[in-house]
Amino acid sequence: MERKKENKVIEMKQLRDRSYVFKDRGAAGKTLAEMLGKYRGSNALVLAVPAGGVAVASVIAEELSLPLDVAVVSKITPSWNSEVGYGAVAFDGTMRLNEDFLSRVRLSQQEIQEGIKKTEQKVARRVKRLRGDRPMPDFRDPVILVDDGLASGFTLFVAIEALRKSGAQEIILAVPTAHEESLQRVLENVESIYCPNIRGGSSFAVAEAYEDWSDLDEEEVVQLLSDFERH
């Protein structure tokens, strides 16, 4: 679906190509909430990509008085490196392989299929734990999709595809930091992107936007969602 004519990127020019611009994910969430001010109290839904995205999205949802939910999606990783992915699986079963990555590494079909199965099981378990038996929300209202950063963008591509299949008409991507080239590729698939810290260059790490960075485990995600519900 062609969306380029509608697209726009909202950034903070003063943060362009800078590193360590946010104290932590919570501070990044506050910055994004200010940028997303027009959605305050609207019928939009804030949808977080676990794990790191929940720490950003919970602040956005609280600041803007919006509901919060999760869009579980996980990259498929080789056994020897949990940081890189050769595909991704989303909450509705949508699965895509990154053929470009697979063309550069040696993985047998057995290894690929085992990785897919393992990731499908992980996604199903996370959906059950983080959402319980609640039905999926009605995606006809605007969806603000939140992650803590956009590196290659492949995982978010799969999340966006799953949301479109689920009926999402308007997807606003909100990420604190992104690689410029990846952001431009994702832009074709969403209505707009809010990203205060856009960076170029040959190397990019999401963590380099944050002074305080660590991976969130599932327990921390559950706690963040629980704390939000109590507010």
Helices 109-131 and 218-230, axial angle in degrees (round to 10): 30
In the beta sheet, which residues pair with residue 47?
69, 145
Q: Could you tell me the pTM of the whole model? A: 0.92
In contact, 40 and 65? CB cutoff 8 Å: yes
Mean pLDDT calculated for residue range 118-132: 94
Mean pLDDT of the chain: 91
Q: With a cut of 90, say whether residue 147 has pLDDT above it.
A: yes
Helices 180-187 and 154-165 sit at what angle, rounded to 10 degrees? 20
Structure tokens at 190: 């969403």
Assigned domain for 36 exists: yes
104 part of a folded domain? no
Angle between helices 25-35 and 52-64 (to 10 degrees): 40
State the total domains in the chain.
Answer: 1
Whether the pLDDT of residue 3 is over 60: the answer is: no
| 81 occurs within a structural domain | no
Q: What is the pLDDT of residues 8-67, one digit of tens each?
A: 999 999 999 999 999 999 999 999 999 999 999 899 999 999 999 999 999 999 999 999
Domain, as residue range, for 21: 4-72+138-230
Distance CA 81, CA 98 (A): 15
User: 176: closest CA among 143, 215, 224, 209?
Assistant: 209
With respect to residue 19, please indicate whether it lies within any of the assigned structural domains.
yes
Tell whether 102 is covered by a domain.
no
Residues 72-83: tens digit of each pLDDT = 999 998 877 777
Q: What integer pLDDT is reported at residue 2 of this predicted model?
A: 44
Q: What is the pLDDT of residues 94-109, one digit of tens each?
A: 999 988 888 888 888 9
Domain of 225: which CATH number? 3.40.50.2020
pLDDT exceeds cutoff 50 at 6: no
- Is residue 131 domain-resident? no
pLDDT of 7: 56
68 domain residue, yes or no = yes
Q: Starting at the edge strand that comes first in sequence, how are the strands of the sheet with 143-146 ordered?
A: 9-10, 192-194, 171-174, 143-146, 45-48, 68-70
Residue 12 lies in a domain: yes
